[in-house]
Every structure is written in C-alpha cells, then in structure tokens.
C-alpha cells in the first residue's frame, strides 16, 4: 500500500510539471520516430541522386538534399535511431560500471573505499571528451566503438553518486537486520540497499542519455564518430559546415534536432528528480 501511494504521489507531481511533460513528449516522439524509421522515411537514406545535389527544401524533399543528393529528412529520421541507440547503450554501460564500483566502495568503506575513490579522482582529472578522443584514436571509428568508449569514460559520476547513497543506507535498520539474519554481502548490496538507492541513479541515467547523444554528435561532426554512409546528426552537420554558405538547411535542421532532443532528456530528468524529491510540496 505504501509503495502504491508513493508511486501515485510521484505521477501526480510529474503530471503537474509542464516542463517535465514537454520533455516526455519529446523523448516519446524520438522513440517512435526511431522505431518507425523504415516506415516513415520517404527515401532510402543512402540513395544518391546527382540531379538533386544541394537542393533546398521542397515538396519532394521537405528538408532539402545534401552534397550527394541524399534526402536530408530521411537521414534525419534514421539518425534519430542512431542517437537513441548510442544514448541507451552508452548510458547502460556507464550505469552498470558506476553502480558496481560505487556499491562496493560505499558498502565496505575503509581502505577499499579510499583506493577506489582515489582511482575515480584520477579518472576525473582527465577531460572526458579528450579522453574519448585519445581512446578512439587507437580504435576503428564505428558506432559500437563509440558506444563502448562513451560508456567506459562516463561512469565516474555515477560511481560517486551510488557510493554516497550506500554510505547513507548501510547503517539503516533493515541492513543491520539482514546482517543479523546471516545474509551475504552480495545479497545485502544488490537485494536490500541498491533498490533503495535507485532514485538518483534513474535521474542521473536520464540526464546521461542527453550527454551521450551530444558526445556522439560531436565525435561524428569531427569525423571520428559514426562513419558515412550511416546517417548521424553529427555527420550531417559536417556536410553543413562544408556547404554553410549555400546549404543552410544542412546545419539548421540537425542542429535543432540535437538541441530539442538534449533539452527533452534534460527536462525529463529534472522532472523525475523533482517528482521524487520528498522535500517538495504536493
């Protein structure tokens, strides 16, 4: 009954938050577009038409064409699928590593916590984007490499967040009771403490998706992310940079897509955080 009441309270707060609902609509539309890309894209995103090179928006090509005559709208739609895949897989990797690292550090404390947290501090000393660039320089640029690299270079904040929650929860009565009953450390960590520490993890993961999408777009823009002919909002922007004076649409539309998507995930994450915060009024 208490869990049901808390869930109902969360949804009541969330629905009242107009910005959070707007973010939810953006995220939902992105998901629908990415899943339905084969059905709603008017053209094959890889089709080249030399007769339609750098044509402006028109009834035949609503968002114009690029330097190879490919339909920009179709490439934008398929690029949404890439963004969704990169965001969820990269954040999934970062969240998994961060949860395990932070849980072990926060639960055991002592010298284990000191060693693990000093390692996290060392990792945080490196600028994340330049660390990604350094790793990508030794690997073949591909969407899978990009997802893995973003994931393994973005777990430190999650680890510190989970550690803080474990430090707060490990002395609670339900944990002491589980220890008294002879529960193993792994059972206490993953069965008793972790479910009670998932609220900030959920918020951080939602905000992390936006960061992962932004990072992938930046890497693709620099030419070391998703490689052509696979469509990505970042490599569409690269074409826009090369033709900025004669093809404004190649920069405008993917830039707006990235802006709206990142804003949507940020609004959704902020809304979840505010709705789960017990210090807020109903």
Tallying the residues shown for the chain, one arrives at: 282
- pLDDT tens by residue, 186-241: 888 888 888 888 888 888 888 888 888 888 888 888 888 788 788 888 888 888 88
Residue 146's SS3 state is: helix
- pLDDT tens by residue, 52-94: 888 889 888 889 888 888 999 999 999 888 888 888 899 999 9
Domain ranges of the chain: 2-276
Cβ atoms < 10 Å from Cβ of 223: 13
> Is 80 exceeded by the pLDDT of residue 118?
yes
User: 133: buried, middle or exposed (CB in 10 Å: 19+, 13-18, 0-12)?
Assistant: middle
CA distances from residue 41 to 34, 51, 190, 229, 230 in whole angstroms, order as listed? 10, 20, 43, 16, 14
CA 68, 72, 73: angle at the middle one, nearest 5?
A: 155
Pick the CATH number of 2-276 from 3.40.50.10860, 1.10.3720.10, 3.10.350.10, 1.10.10.10: 1.10.3720.10
Lookup: tokens for 188: 């206490």
What whole-number percentage of the chain has pLDDT above 70?
96
What is the spatial distance between Cα 71 and Cα 143, in angstroms, rounded to a whole number? Answer: 22
Q: How confident is the prediction for the chain on average, in pLDDT?
A: 85
What pLDDT is recorded for position 203? 86
55: Cβ contacts below 8 Å, ≥ 6 apart? 61, 64, 65, 69
Range list of β-strands (E), 9-69: none
Nearest-CA neighbor of 249 among 54, 45, 9, 41?
A: 54
> Is 80 exceeded by the pLDDT of residue 1?
no
> Is 80 exceeded by the pLDDT of residue 282?
no
Cβ atoms < 10 Å from Cβ of 75: 29
What pLDDT is recorded for position 100? 92
Band the pLDDT of 279: cuts 50, 70, 90. low
What is the spatial distance between Cα 63 and Cα 156, in angstroms, rounded to a whole number? Answer: 39
Beta bridge partners of 65: 71
- Peptide bond before 229: cis, by omega within 30 degrees of 0? yes
Give me the torsion for CA of 108, 114, 116, 117, rounded to 10°: 120
pTM passes above 0.75: yes
């Amino acid at each position: 009954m208490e869990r049901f009441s808390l869930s109902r309270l969360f949804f009541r707060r969330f629905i009242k938050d107009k910005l959070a609902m707007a973010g939810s609509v953006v995220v939902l539309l992105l998901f629908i577009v990415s899943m339905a890309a084969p059905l709603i894209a008017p053209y094959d995103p890889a089709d080249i038409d030399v007769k339609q090179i750098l044509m402006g928006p028109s009834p035949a090509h609503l968002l114009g064409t690029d330097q190879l005559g490919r339909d920009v709208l179709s490439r934008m739609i398929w690029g949404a699928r890439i963004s969704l895949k990169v965001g969820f897989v990269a954040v999934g990797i970062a969240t998994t590593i961060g949860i395990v690292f932070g849980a072990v550090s926060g639960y055991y404390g002592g010298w284990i916590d000191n060693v693990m947290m000093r390692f996290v501090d060392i990792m945080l000393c490196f600028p994340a984007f330049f660390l990604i660039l350094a790793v990508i320089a030794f690997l073949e640029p591909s969407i899978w490499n990009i997802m893995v690299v973003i994931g393994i270079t973005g777990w430190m904040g999650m680890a510190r967040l989970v550690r803080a929650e474990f430090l707060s929860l490990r002395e609670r009565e339900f944990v002491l009771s589980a220890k008294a009953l002879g529960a193993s450390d792994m059972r206490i960590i993953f069965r008793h403490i972790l479910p009670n520490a998932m609220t900030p993890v959920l918020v951080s993961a939602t905000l992390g998706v936006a960061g992962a999408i932004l990072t992938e777009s930046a890497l693709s823009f620099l030419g070391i992310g998703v490689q052509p002919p696979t469509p990505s909002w970042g490599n569409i922007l690269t074409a826009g940079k090369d033709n900025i004076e004669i093809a404004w649409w190649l920069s405008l539309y993917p830039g707006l897509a990235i802006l709206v998507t990142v804003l949507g995930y940020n609004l959704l994450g902020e809304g979840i955080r505010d709705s789960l915060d017990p210090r807020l009024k109903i």
